[in-house]
Amino acid sequence: MVRSLSADGGSFKDPAGQVYRISGETGGARVVRGLSDAAAAEMRNLLAEPFFQQLMADGHVVKTAMLDGKDADARQVIEDGWSGAAEHEAVGFITYPYEWPFSMLKDAALLQLRLLEAAARNGWLLKDATSFNVQWMDARPVFIDVPSFVRWEDGDYWRGYRQFCATFLTPLLLTAHLDIPFQPLLRGRLEGIPPEEAAKYFYGLRRFKRGVLPHIWFPAKAEGRARKRGGGGHTRRRQSRTMLLALLDSMSRLIGKLSYRPAGSDWAEYGRTHSYDEADFLRKKDFVRRHAASRSPDLVWDLGANTGVFSRIAAERSGTVVAVDGDQSAIDMLYHETRTDCPSNIVPLVMDLANLSPSQGWAGLERPAFEERGSPDMVMCLALVHHMRVSANVPLRLFVGWLRSLNATVMLEFVGRGDEMFQKLIENKSEDYADYTAANFEAEVRSRFAVRDRLKLKGGLREMFALEPI
């Protein structure tokens, strides 16, 4: 059987290793890391450490095992120029920190500190501390960059501190203290927010907010002084373990106390404030349940998911449901529910639906676009079309055409012009959106999809569609 080997575009920074995705005609993609001689030896040492085995068993670090030369996929990787190969458990759907709500970044930050503490207590360090090294499996943060664990050599200190602050702590402080969403900042700066830039947000008395003086203001001053000096001046000195552990403890307590409570959110109260009567709401739920169950899709996108009422229904019979919404507090609420009473196969993401994450980084390959990280089998966009037309100014033709390009079953709810929510959207608009009619919508749909099922709601003001691409 032919199996294709493709190098991961984001795995080029470490000269001692390279991640490959290996997939066959029948699916079943594996994630295999090619390793240099020294890196393979270090990996074997790490895998033999009891603390590391415990971290894997607890689900904090991605499950990893060395492969021997009998494994056909390992042989392919070795033939590509590596001395050894290790396999990592594959992550269902790759996400990036600029798509996470506040609580996901916070939990990922606490995981990073916990791992570093466990490593430091056992004679190891984490050489990197970027939030891109964390992914999500079963609604839990999982550390995936195993070669970041290195032996704590004499003369070493926590070199990842700056990176940790730039990609975890500073974004959290900006959102918690100043209500500035960190997602656009992290999307614009993949290396995170440097202290001198962050210090400009915390001017005047703002610098006295919790955690700002030690982790933003002081590093900004120290770096500014080092830059004026022309850098250098650093002699190799070992940071004591006690000081590192105390610093980690203090940072964990600081992050643990950070919270984000936005003053008002459009959708966070959705479960209580939607515009349906109870009977229609139940019929809508039943429609979603029936069509999700009939397909049992591997990957579902719920676009405009708000607090995930329908993501949860779809998740009952699906592999993974990626729930996307532009409202951080609604998605934050959904994340908390996935940690408690919700199916854990939901991946909640914050994203502007008129500006989905693009391909970014080196050669546009380092962080693939949202649409390139997996083809959905089913796309749900319930009561989204009117927002795309009015708020984002995307013509119906373009939106329906884009849905067709995904080549997936679509479950869609059309909100008619007479609906009070549509009227509310256009009340301050000068344009009348004349193309936005049920007849135009249906014509656009029928030229690209077969209508398998439909259901009128709210006395015909809204209509649910189950569509198959033709």
Answer yes or no whether residue 226 interacts with other proteins by CB under 8 A. Answer: yes
Answer yes or no whether residue 228 interacts with other proteins by CB under 8 A. Answer: yes
Binding part of the chain for other proteins, among 58-66, 234-242, 259-267, 396-404 by CB under 8 A, reads 234-242
Site size for other proteins (CB under 8 A): 31
- Residue ranges in 246-285 that form contacts with other proteins under rule CB under 8 A: 246-247, 249-250
Q: Which two tokens stand for residue 440?
A: 């135009």
**Under 8 Å between Cβ of 429 and 390:** yes
Q: Which two tokens stand for residue 392?
A: 């984002």
Q: Which two tokens stand for residue 327?
A: 């409202």
**Minimum distance of other proteins from residue 247's CB (angstroms):** 4
Answer yes or no whether residue 200 interacts with other proteins by CB under 8 A. Answer: no
Answer yes or no whether residue 453 interacts with other proteins by CB under 8 A. Answer: no
Residues 6+ apart with CB under 8 A from 12: 18, 362, 366
**Under 8 Å between Cβ of 131 and 168:** yes
Q: How far is CA 175 from CA 102, 180, 200, in A?
A: 8, 5, 15
Binding part of the chain for other proteins, among 128-136, 204-212, 217-225, 338-346 by CB under 8 A, reads 217-225
**Under 8 Å between Cβ of 83 and 37:** yes
Binding part of the chain for other proteins, among 228-236, 338-346, 406-414, 460-468 by CB under 8 A, reads 228-236
Among residues 188, 171, 169, the alpha carbon closest in space to that of 179 is found at 171
Answer yes or no whether residue 13 interacts with other proteins by CB under 8 A. Answer: no
CB closer to other proteins, 224 vs 401: 224
DSSP 216-269: IIHHHHHHHHHHHHTS------PPPHHHHHHHHHHHHHHHHH-----S--SSTT
Near other proteins by CB under 8 A: residue from 41, 72, 178, 222: 222
CB closer to other proteins, 118 vs 334: 118
| Strand, coil or helix: 271 | helix
Q: How far is CA 299 from CA 219, 323, 407, in A?
A: 43, 11, 13
CB closer to other proteins, 178 vs 226: 226
Binding part of the chain for other proteins, among 155-163, 268-276, 343-351, 374-382 by CB under 8 A, reads 155-163
CB closer to other proteins, 216 vs 300: 216
**Minimum distance of other proteins from residue 112's CB (angstroms):** 15
Residues that bind other proteins (CB under 8 A): 157-159, 161-162, 194, 214-215, 218-219, 222-223, 225-228, 230-234, 237, 239-240, 242-244, 246-247, 249-250
